[in-house]
Structures are given as C-alpha cells and as structure tokens.
Amino acid sequence: MMSDCNNPKHGEFNSTDRLSDLPDFIIHHIISYLYTKEAYRTSVLSKRWNQVFATNPILDFDHYYSSKFPMETLPRLLEYIDTRMQKISKENLRITKFILALPPNDLLLPSKVDEWLEIAVRNQVTEIFLRGPANYKLPSFLFCAKSLRDLDCGKVEIPYYEALELVSLKILLLYDNVVLEERMLFHIISSCPNLKKLVLSFWPGFKNLVIPRHSKLEDLCIDGDVHVDSGKVILETSSLTTFEYNSDGVNDDPWPIIANRGLLRNLRHVLVSGLSITGEDLAKLLPELTSLEKLKFSGCQMPKNTKISNTQLKIICLSKCDNLLNVVIDAPNLKKFKFCGDTNRSLSITIRSQANCNIHIHKYALYFDTYGFFKLKKLLKGLNSCNILKIFLLLGSSKVPATDGDGDEDGEKSGNAGLGPPCDIGELKINLYSYWELSSSPLSAFLNGLFWTCHPRIISLRVESSYRKLAVEPLLNKLVDMDKYLRHPLKRIEVEETTIGFDFLDVQMRLCW
C-alpha cells in the first residue's frame, strides 16, 4: 500500500510545499522585511511565490540612500520601476507603502515620477517616502490622496495648492531643505483633521508657525536650521503632548512657544537644544506643564543657579549646559536623572526625594588628581540616596598626585571641605576610560575615595583590561576585607573588562539620550 504524503507516518518523508500554502498576506508580510533586491529573489521559490511577489503592496525603490542598487544599474532600475508600476495600474493592485529615493539626476524626468505617484494615489497608497529628483515639485493630486496616512519627503518643493483633501493624514515629515511657503504649511495643518505628528528638519526658516485651535497635533519636532527669522510657534490648541526643538544656534535662540494660559497642560515631553533659557522662562513655564514627564535641555544657556520643580516629572536630562553652577531639582516622582558635561566649573546638584531614582553622571576629561576628585564629590553632594548611580568617567592624567581617602588637606585648599555626609547608594556603576597612561596609586586612591563618598551596597565596574590589574584588583581586595573592621554596606562587587574601541566623538555619541 502506498503511503499518504499528506499524513506521513514515523520515518516517512513529507513532500508538502508548506511555503506555497501560506496565505498571500503572510507572504507579503515576510518579504516586507527584505530589500527589493532580496525580495525579488524569493520569486524563484515557487510559481506561487513569483505571483505573490508581483502583487506585493509594499514597493521599495530606494536607490539614493542605500547600496541596494549600484549607480550603474540606475537605467535598469528606472525601467524596472516603470514596468512594475504599469502592471500594478493595469491589474488595479493595491499599494500600502511606496518608497522612492532617487539621486538628483537630469535623466530623471519629473513627469515620470508624477506618473508613478499618480498610480500609487489611485491605488489607495497609505504611506509615501520620497527623495528626489532635483527641483521636483510635488503634484497637486498628491494633496487630494484621501487614503494617505504617512507622508515623508525631502529635497522637494511644495507649491501652494488651494485644494487639499488629506483627510487621513496622521504623520507629515519634511526633511532635507524642503521648499515650502509658510501659508502652505498652515493650510496643511489647518486642513488635515487627523494630523498627529509634524517634523520639520532643515527647513529654511519661519516667522510664525501657527497651530490652530481645532488642530489635533500631538507631536511637533523642529530640527536643524529653522530659526533664521527667530520664528515662534504660536500655539492655539491644547492637544500638544511632545515638543522637540533642536536649534543650530549658539545658545542664543529664546524659548520658541507662545501660548495662552492652560494650553500647555497636556505637554508631557519637552526636549530642546541650543536655546537660551532664562530663570524667568523656567518660572513661567514649569507651572504650566502640569502633565510634564520628560524634560531635556541640551547645549542650552541656562541660569547659573537653576531650580527645576515639577510634581509629575519622571525623567530629567541636562546635557552640555556648561554654565551651570548650582542645580536644585524638586521632583518627588523622579525616576531618572542624567547629567552630561565637562568639568570647566565646579557644579553642585541637589536632587530631593530621589530614593527610587536612577542617576547617571557623565563627566568626561576629568583629571584624577585631588582637585578632580573634589569636583566630582561636590557634584554628588546633593545625592543623599538613590537606587542606582551610574558614573561615566573619561580620565586624564595630572601632575598633582591624588591623596588616599578623602584628601582633607587639599580639599581645604580647594574650598571643598565640609561637603556633607556620604550618600546612600543602592548600586554604584562606573564606566572607566582613559586615553592617557594612568599610574596605579593615584587611580586606586581616586576610586577608593569615590567608594567611600557613595557608600554603595553593590559596586559594578566596567574598566579597560589593563587597569584591572593595575589598580582595580588591589582596590577590590581592600574593599572586600574592610567589613571585618569597618561598618560598610557593601554586599557585592562585579567587574567587567572592556577595551577602548572608539574615539572621543563616539564617546559623546554614547552619551546622547
């Protein structure tokens, strides 16, 4: 009796083609994770996969921003795109995502791009990503695409069109020097009832960006050189929940939002850089942000004595605000605080009610002499207790030797004596790097003083392998034995070795939030 291949018994081979039995939408989902070139290769798996690939609703023709298609294949790529789009038009196949990124080239006819976009719009496209060709003007019919939800375009010109029916548009991303009149942008914001996210990156500039009262915009990001005319965001709605402003200015742009009282009540995330924030700005702004959860100031000109008080704040980041001298944070629900900056000045940070908070301190180019240690100790002065204290140190050598322990004598000379009791730390995590050759005794003394300042219950060290034998191992042996004769809460020590495989720019990139 012949065996049934569909019901194989033990030890019998099942020859059923399960790949070809998959439903179309699953095959489409699988190839959506592949580049066009790789997705095309799946058509050889079977005749059915070849047919399903031809009906894939995700069209990815990315030439400019990837190496999927070498430059010499560009003419063939254009021919392939045209053939594929004509087939879709003829068979009326649905398109969900249309990605077209082409290099600026005289051979690329804007009329042909218009034709492809028109087919995509006619076939109910929901997402469009478009880059190039040079001096390309978006056609009017694109702004009547009722099915379009996401529009991401760059290096294009958007003329003013009176007719606008983007009733489904939720996300609008404009990158790479889009030429756009201010009135057209206002027309889009006003006429798109479902617009939730707007990103303007490297836009030549604006005077007034008005968000009207009936707008449902939640996420606004202004990134790059968009402050030519010291533009203001005039907020007439309370729908905004996230505001990000990244200025290319040199700490001289003022706070950009103008809003009546109560309109900032739903703003939860504020992330700004390159601004000049005054004490008056903070005093007026923070009480208005009754829902604020995340606050980041990066590269901003801040008051030397800065106080941040907000009952809802959970995350605060101060990055490269180098003029700070004294920071007081009153945030009872704070979960994470991160400071990243240099050591040009002695900085004091006081965080109230931070018992359950994770604190990250990133101090680069810190000298591990007595003065450098007391600068770091002063920074930790206001940290009475916290869950995790993570410190990133890029150490530099110094001619002044570090003292063992706290170094009271040099501390008196530096004006750093009497800095208060040690802080109570659940876990102290230290990432230790250096570009200079460090000697054993000063490094060991530096770490020893730091441990006694923090009183951690758990110590986690991430150090270069050369420093483990040089200074860390002798120090750890000392710390392990100290419970025999001193009261100290230390319970566990963990050490991880690493290597310097990056330059200073990479270090700063790692510090970005």
User: 63 vs 201, which has greater pLDDT?
Assistant: 201
For the stretch 16-66, pLDDT in tens is 556 666 666 566 566 665 655 555 565 555 566 656 556 678 888 876 555
The reported pLDDT for the residue numbered 337 is 92
437: its two tokens: 């050759």
The reported pLDDT for the residue numbered 404 is 38
Domain residue extents for the chain: 196-334, 336-513
221: its two tokens: 């990001």
**Nearest C-alpha neighbor of 257 from the set 249, 415, 244, 217:** 244
The reported pLDDT for the residue numbered 38 is 59
**Across 107-120, average pLDDT:** 86
Half-sphere exposure of 315 (CA within 13 A, CB side): 10
The reported pLDDT for the residue numbered 268 is 97
**Across 56-82, average pLDDT:** 71
426: its two tokens: 């659940």
The reported pLDDT for the residue numbered 419 is 45
**Rounded to the nearest 10 degrees, how much is the dihedral formed by the CA atoms of 232, 236, 238, 241?**
-30
**Nearest C-alpha neighbor of 202 from the set 244, 154, 159:** 154
Entry pTM: 0.79
Non-local CB neighbours of 279 within 8 Å, separated by 6+ positions: 303, 305, 306
Query: Comparing 254-258, 283-287, 440-444, which segment has the lowest mean pLDDT?
Result: 440-444
403: its two tokens: 């003292």
The reported pLDDT for the residue numbered 87 is 87
Calpha distance 223→244 (Å, rounded): 8
